[in-house]
Amino acid sequence: MTQETRRRPKGDKRARTRAALMEAARQLTREKGFEAVTLEDVARRAGMTSGAIYGNFRNRRDLFLAIAQTDWAPIKPVIAPGSSFPEIMQAFAQATLAAAPDLRLAAPARLSGMAHTLNHEEVRARVREITAESYAGGAAWLADIMEAGDSPMAPEVLVVVIHALTEGLLFQRFMTPDLVPDEVFYSAFAALAARPR
């Protein structure tokens, strides 16, 4: 055992185990679809026992929600201090386009998980909690970076609109890339910043 190995914190092994289980579940979901993947499949693919899963996740739902939160995290652009609302919206378009290649890999699992969620009340309740927390954090962040009165809507509404716009644009881009070029993203976000005449 090297000195570096001895110094490695115990939590590091737990993080590596979680990451390996999540990666195995990702791969299997891409291959078989969300509904067909069992915890036994995940453990086998990761080269671990089912006990390793239960030592890191309470159940199948928690494993897949952890993957969703990691692989489909909210897009948060870098905003220069003093940016105008149109500049903030342009930054959102840029950040969404930059995230698109990684999100494309996660999209089939995301859609499969969303379909599962629609049919399971307990999962939908948990997704609602996670989404509400995300919206609250996003609205607070937007309120901090925007000038008062700059946005056409309250931050609590704007964060939901941005989320829906982003997801819709991304999924349509993934299905029909030639019909949803970069210009569509920039135009959609610019429309949020347009003032009524």
Task: Give residue-wise pLDDT tens across range 49-100.
Answer: 988 999 999 988 889 888 888 888 889 899 988 899 999 999 999 999 999 9
Secondary structure, 3-state, the chain: CCHHHHHCCHHHHHHHHHHHHHHHHHHHHHHHCHHHCCHHHHHHHHCCCHHHHHCCCCCHHHHHHHHHHHHCCCCCCCCCCCCCHHHHHHHHHHHHHHHHHHHHHHHHHHHHHHHHHHCCHHHHHHHHHHHHHHHHHHHHHHHHHCCCCCCCCCHHHHHHHHHHHHHHHHHHHHHCHHHCCHHHHHHHHHHHHCCCC
Task: Give residue-wise pLDDT tens across range 117-140.
Answer: 999 999 999 999 999 999 999 999
Q: What is the pTM of this model?
A: 0.81
Lowest mean pLDDT among 2-6, 42-46, 145-149, 165-169: 2-6
